[in-house]
Chain A
Amino acid sequence: GAGVSQSPRYKVAKRGQDVALRCDPISGHVSLFWYQQALGQGPEFLTYFQNEAQLDKSGLPSDRFFAERPEGSVSTLKIQRTQQEDSAVYLCASSLRRSGRANEQFFGPGTRLTVL
């Protein structure tokens, strides 16, 4: 595709519900990142994949958060037993090369999660 896409764009969940957020990176991009952006804040790193390998999950706030990228393309961020503090915009980004410290990341439009 032309860019990174994410679905759904908006998700409302009741507290305790499980949610799954999808990211379709740019075709051929090796690296994939998930970020959490709280209202009025900058994005905060959650986790990073190189192809299907999850190389860094140090930013995941709790064991309720789980991410996967089984075939090295589409990724899913799953949040179990959602809490109100999980309400945020979840951004996905991809980058062409592995890690690619000098490479810019291309961001999707985000999924706005609201937990009631």
Chain B
Amino acid sequence: AQSVAQPEDQVNVAEGNPLTVKCTYSVSGNPYLFWYVQYPNRGLQFLLKYITGDNLVKGSYGFEAEFNKSQTSFHLKKPSALVSDSALYFCAVRDGDNYGQNFVFGPGTRLSVLP
């Protein structure tokens, strides 16, 4: 079975400071990892994904994430936060070796960027 943990319910950061939203995962096969962002009253928007290759993945809106196999982590990062980044962030995992497995999402982390 696969699972995703996002250990922080809430992350607060000042505008212009770097931000990190943490994600750890458990999957039996190769992990396919995704980050989504959800703004109020809107659906989830895709940010970035790791499938294979370079451990550092760059995505939309200046976000990036680093895949760390030994720590089973896929933390989301941004060098300089914007107030408009305030939203709910979800990490998701899929078992790349198991055709039948679907996305499993974490519980979400609410990011607040303070002006």
Contacts and interface: CB of A to CB of B under 8 A. Distances in A.
Contacts of B44: 43, 91, 93, 107
Nearest to B9: A40
A45 B104 contact: yes
A9 to B, nearest CB: 8
A104 B48 CA distance: 9
Nearest to A91: B43
A60 B107 CA distance: 19
Contacts of B101: 101
Interface in B72-115: 90, 92, 94-96, 99-108
Nearest to B108: A42
Which one of A33, A40, A56, A105 has the greatest number of beta carbons of chain B within 10 Å? A105
Given A4-B43, A101-B32, A107-B43, A43 B105 contact: yes
B99 A104 contact: no
Given A101-B32, A102-B51, A102-B96, A33 B43 contact: no
Interface in B37-74: 41-46, 49, 51
Given A42-B106, A101-B32, 7 more contacts: A42-B107, A43-B103, A56-B102, A93-B44, A105-B46, A106-B46, A109-B42
Contacts of A108: 43
B34 interface: yes
B88 to A, nearest CB: 9
